[in-house]
Amino acid sequence: MSLYRLAWPVLAALEPETAHRAALWALRSGVAGLLFPPAPADPALRTEVWGRAFANPLGLAAGFDKNAQAVAQVAALGFGFVEVGGVTPLPQPGNPSPRLFRLTQDRAIINRLGFNSDGLAVVTQRLAALRRSGAPCLVGVNLGKNKDSADAGADYVAGVTALAQLADFLVINVSSPNTPGLRALQSVEALVSLTRAVREARSATGAATPLLFKIAPDLAVADITDICRVAVAEKMDGIVVSNTTIARPETLKSPHRDETGGLSGAPLFDVSTQLLREVYALTGGQLPLIGVGGVSSAGQAYAKIRAGASLVQLYTALIYEGPGLISEITRGLSALLRRDGFTSIDQAVGADHRGNG
């Protein structure tokens, strides 16, 4: 039995946000890194996206290290990259507790955190210190808007302006279900306006930091088509597919299944992977995609890569499986590449669309 399996009853007895804080403490203190060393690096897993070299395509999704408190320690567990956030311009507490719920029987989570954030100034300081330390971490930042902001565009511009020189990529989160009105930014007119504003802000910094949209899995087909058209036409650098869902599958068994908020974890895998497949086809493979939603095994990470993801993220599965899952997935990806005759991850990206393997 793994160390995490032994610790799970204790963690499961804690209120979810308390357990989350305990996990961050274990990382910052170095305890987690000692207990869960990374798998040896495999050259076949190396990939270059946006001119940046990723040791492997597996990353930590936004939501765990919201405030950039343990980036280097998280990366040292074996991730190829880490996405922090969502970060809002001003500090805000988020929604009232309880706001995070385990659906243990479903290997899922429902959250309605509401962009609880230390704010842009604090996160900028932490990432600047990380860069000064020389820690070899590839870091993305998920940007959000303040709940009471009257100008969403200005909020995203503020994030890009502050962080373009510090981040390896920036994610414009227009799909969290927990901030009123946010998902309306996925409409064509709003997206075009927002895209042009953040690209102008990036240009003003002198940086070439990739800008990505993060989209919802609950979009109508016409909306997906429009978003992909805008992303290509407006020269965005990629799309994160996808955020949490407001849908509640009938298969959910856990007592908290009817809580309000975004559902993540195992029930999201099929719908997010199908959306990923559609986005890859609609963009003609022109944009790097980050596949996220329900990944808990090497097979599932590989499925997203074959569906069109250049990079893959997870988060919820770590709650139930622990940090050992990271090495399990990277080792498994190496084996799956060899099985299908690929010598690199790049060869596998979008393979299902080509009928390879």
Please give the pLDDT value at position 2: 82
Please give the pLDDT value at position 356: 72
Contact 166, 140 (CB under 8 A): no
Query: Is the four-CA dihedral 172, 176, 180, 184 of positive or negative sign?
Result: positive
Closest to 288 measured CA to CA, from 220, 210, 216: 210
In 3-state terms, what secondary structure has residue 173? Answer: strand
Each domain of the chain, given as residue ranges in start order, spans 3-354
- Cα–Cα dist 18/100, whole Å: 10
Q: Is 176 a catalytic residue?
A: yes
104: exposed, middle or buried (Cβ count in 10 Å: 0-12, 13-18, 19+): middle
- Cα–Cα dist 344/350, whole Å: 13
61: exposed, middle or buried (Cβ count in 10 Å: 0-12, 13-18, 19+): buried
- Cα–Cα dist 328/78, whole Å: 10
Q: Which residues contact 286 (CB under 8 A, 6 or more apart)?
A: 232
184: exposed, middle or buried (Cβ count in 10 Å: 0-12, 13-18, 19+): exposed
Residue carrying the six token digits 């009853």:
9
What's the CA angle centered on 64, arms 59 and 65, to 5 degrees?
90
CATH homologous superfamily of domain 3-354? Aldolase class I (3.20.20.70)
pLDDT in single tens digits along all 357 residues of the chain: 588 999 899 999 999 999 999 999 999 998 899 899 999 999 999 999 999 999 999 999 999 999 999 999 999 999 999 999 999 999 999 999 999 999 999 999 999 999 999 999 999 999 999 999 999 999 999 999 999 999 999 999 999 999 999 999 999 999 889 888 888 888 889 899 999 999 999 999 999 999 999 999 999 999 999 999 999 999 999 999 999 999 999 999 999 999 999 999 999 999 999 999 999 999 999 999 999 999 999 999 999 999 999 999 999 999 999 999 999 999 999 999 999 999 999 999 999 999 776
Please give the pLDDT value at position 296: 98
| Residue 222: its H or E element | helix 221-233
Contact 278, 294 (CB under 8 A): no
The single residue of 176, 296, 310, 334 carrying the catalytic annotation is 176
Model confidence pTM above 0.95: yes
Residue carrying the six token digits 């009471």:
148
Beta bridge partners of 84: 141
